Amino acid sequence: MKLLRTTLIALIASAPLAGPLLAHEDATNPVVIERMETMKAIGGGMKTLAGMAKNEIPFDADKANAALAIMAEKGVLIPAKFEANEPDPATEALPAIWENFDDFVKKSEDMVVAAKSAPTITDTASLGAALGQVGGTCKACHRDYRK
């Protein structure tokens, strides 16, 4: 029953992210738009965790755990989404991704592992631990591979 509830929360939380390509209206390349949507979903999970940690949104353990689940689910898609070096003026992806693709893939895998192995969030202390674990992997990749 808990799994069903968590899955339902994850679906509800990700529904706004599944909308058409409006979120990145400046992008025109469908491949780039798709990868931007994947990264937006992961960023949405991070935004949920960070917002709770900063008391900007109310703490909700179910929503926090659903955010981690979405990050892990979408994170496994990253290597395939970035395999082709597709151009688009709206992209924030740096050329370094394709110059160091193995490192980029490793960093995306690190994020997935961190999201999957984060402690179950039950309170603000476990939220902080999970956020620190996952956030460090996001920062490591963004530092090298994002404008």
Read off the pLDDT of residues 73-130 as tens digits, 9 standing for 90 and up. Answer: 999 999 999 999 998 999 999 999 999 999 999 999 999 999 999 999 999 999 999 9
What percent of the chain lies above the pLDDT cut of 70?
A: 83
pLDDT of residue 25: 66
pLDDT of residue 120: 97
112 within 8 A of 134, measured Cβ to Cβ? no
CB neighbour list of residue 45: distance below 8 Å, 6 or more residues apart: 67, 68, 70, 71, 74, 115
User: For the segment 109-120, what is each residue's pLDDT rounded down to a tens digit?
Assistant: 999 999 999 999
Residue range 2-13: average pLDDT? 40
